[in-house]
Amino acid sequence: MLRSDLFTFPPSRAYRMAMPELAERYWTAEDVRALPDDGNRYECIDGVLLVTPAPRNVHQDVVAEFFRVLYDYIRPLRPIRLRFSPADIEIVPRTLVQPDLYVAVPKPGRVRLDTWDAIGSLMLAVEVLSPSTARVDRGRKREFYQRAGVAEYWIVDHEARLVERWRPEDTRPEVVRGTLVWQPRERPEPLVIDLEALFSEALDD
């Protein structure tokens, strides 16, 4: 039986031909790593392969603005690091994810995040919505990040100029407009993000 969320965008003719074979198998992180580097983003959650195309310019501009405002706040927390995809994160065995932005925490005893297997958990994961990814970002990925204990998961809707904030225990998101305040326990002072200014900068308003 085909799994309806296998692909997050209209697949190419080659992918359409291969869909039954792809849908019937259980995908692991090792399988995904063996796929060709063709410009698409490949992830797998609960055995399901997720494929998304290269992002549009506006998507990248929004990611860049969030990286800019987060970088200086996260920098004093090293070896905790702020990074962006492409990535190869396997915080749950056999599952591989590539959030647009993420704050990675090393495993106990690791003093550097110099290899992918040094990542023990995520303090924050951020996905910027696009038409091809919205359902998966709000559904399967959100459920996975909550189960995996990611402290916060932000779904950025730049068209609505808001952030949907999820924590592991949440049953519905906190919808944030205007000002987003983030204060992980590792920092005594909060980060205050002016979302309206951020989106205006990213979207060249």
State the pLDDT at residue 12.
42
Task: For residues 47 and 77, state if they share a domain.
Answer: no
Extract the residue ranges of the chain whose pLDDT is less than 50. Answer: 1-21
Alpha helices (H) along 98-191:
134-138, 140-147
Q: Measure the CA–CA gap between 28 and 49, rounded to whole angstroms.
A: 8
Give Rg (Cα) of the chain.
Answer: 17
Q: Measure the CA–CA gap between 61 and 66, rounded to whole angstroms.
A: 9
Give SS3 for 125: strand
Q: Measure the CA–CA gap between 60 and 55, rounded to whole angstroms.
A: 7
Q: Does residue 175 belong to any structural domain of this protein?
A: yes
Q: Measure the CA–CA gap between 99 and 96, rounded to whole angstroms.
A: 10
Q: Domain containing 147: what range?
A: 57-202
State the pLDDT at residue 79.
94
Task: For residues 39 and 98, state if they share a domain.
Answer: no
How far separated are the first and last CA of the chain, in Å rounded?
46
Q: Give the CA angle between residues 78, 166, 183 to the nearest 5°.
A: 40
CA 179, distance to chain mean position in Å, is: 21
Tell me the Ramachandran region of residue 177: left when phi exceeds 0, alpha when psi lies from -120 to 50, beta otherwise: beta
State the pLDDT at residue 7.
43
State the pLDDT at residue 35.
92
State the pLDDT at residue 20.
40
CATH code, domain with 192: 3.90.1570.10
Task: For residues 31 and 118, state if they share a domain.
Answer: no
Task: For residues 40 and 115, state if they share a domain.
Answer: no
State the pLDDT at residue 205.
79
State the pLDDT at residue 8.
41
Overall number of domains in the chain: 2
Q: Which amino acid type is present at position 192?
A: V
Q: Which amino acid type is present at position 75?
A: R
State the pLDDT at residue 23.
56
Q: Does residue 120 belong to any structural domain of this protein?
A: yes
Task: For residues 120 and 77, state if they share a domain.
Answer: yes
Task: For residues 27 and 69, state if they share a domain.
Answer: no
Residue 63, φ and ψ in degrees, nearest 5 = -60, -45
Q: Does residue 39 belong to any structural domain of this protein?
A: yes
